[in-house]
Structure 1
Amino acid sequence: MPLSSAAPRTVRAAGAIVGLQGLVALVFTVLLLIRGLSGESELGTNVFGEAAYFAVLAAAVLACGAGLLIGKTWARSPAIVIQVLLLGVAWYATGPSGRPEYGIPVGVVCLAALVFLFNPATTRWAQGEE
């Protein structure tokens, strides 16, 4: 699939970030499956169900990233929702969980994606003005 020439670079940059987040979610899913198959999971947890849940989420995030990369306007709104949800995860990791080494980088990446997604050129493109 060729990249859309009508999509500004900010859209493709946001698509790269969202796609990277989808790949990270996919890696996390594979690690959960490995954990479940090796028998290292705690008693009473359903690691395979959790892995299936994350596989669906990873596929959705990857689809949004790919949609932005090829210049599809439908992918912008779900990508914004994903970033806002991940900002909440980043806040929780930084504050209540006491893991700023995870929360701060995730928050910075989400903010960068939101800057690209709310850039005036991206907004005009999404509204069909370009």
Structure 2
Amino acid sequence: MLGAAAASSAARVERSRPEAPRTLRWAAVVVAVEAAAIGVGAVLLLYLVVTSAADSMSRAIAEVVVVGAGSALLATAAVGLWRVAGWARGPVIVLQLLLAALAYTTAFEAGRPAIGLPVLVLVAAELYLLATPEARLAYLDR
């Protein structure tokens, strides 16, 4: 009954997205690398859960789910950074700060610098790339 009237509505206006500057694209690549590394860690944890005897199977499965969800969140944020989505920068910064704390603890307190130092380098690179004037202006121009 009202279908004909609704069909002749005004044309939809396409909003153009600003193109991401080079530093923001590099930041998206760094986040994607982190997401891939954490995803590999989740698969490795799943393998260890399946092939070995855990003290608490529910806790081990929950750990796999949490690591997998973190990887998926980082991958989604990488896509958001590439598209200059307004929501993407905040979660990336928060996750980088959490990764920095984890990497510091791993490198210096747990005595595993081969694991912690590369993560600290990635975190420092990511925070630098997001703090460049080019990246900040991309979010102001949205």
Range class of TM-score, shorter chain: 0.7 to 0.9
* Matched-pair contact (CA < 8 Å) for 1:41–1:47: no
- Structure 1 residue ranges (4+ consecutive) displaced by more than 6 angstroms after TM superposition: none
Give the TM-score normalised by structure 2. Answer: 0.81
Unmatched tracts of structure 2, length 5 or more: 1-16
Give the TM-score normalised by structure 1. Answer: 0.87
Q: State the partner residue of 2:54.
A: 42
Partner residue of 2:40 out of 27, 30, 36: 27
The number of residues matched between the two structures is 125
Unmatched tracts of structure 1, length 5 or more: none
**Deviation, structure 1 residue 110:** 0.6
Q: State the partner residue of 1:95.
A: 108
Give percent identity, aligned residues only.
Answer: 30
Deviations along 1:72-120, whole A, 9 cap, x unmatched? 2321111111111111111111211111111111101110011100001
**Deviation, structure 1 residue 17:** 0.5
**Deviation, structure 1 residue 71:** 2.6
Whichever of the two has the greater Rg, that structure is 2
Q: How does 1:83-122 map to 2 (within 5 A)?
A: 83-122=96-135
Higher alpha-carbon deviation: 10-19 or 64-73: 64-73
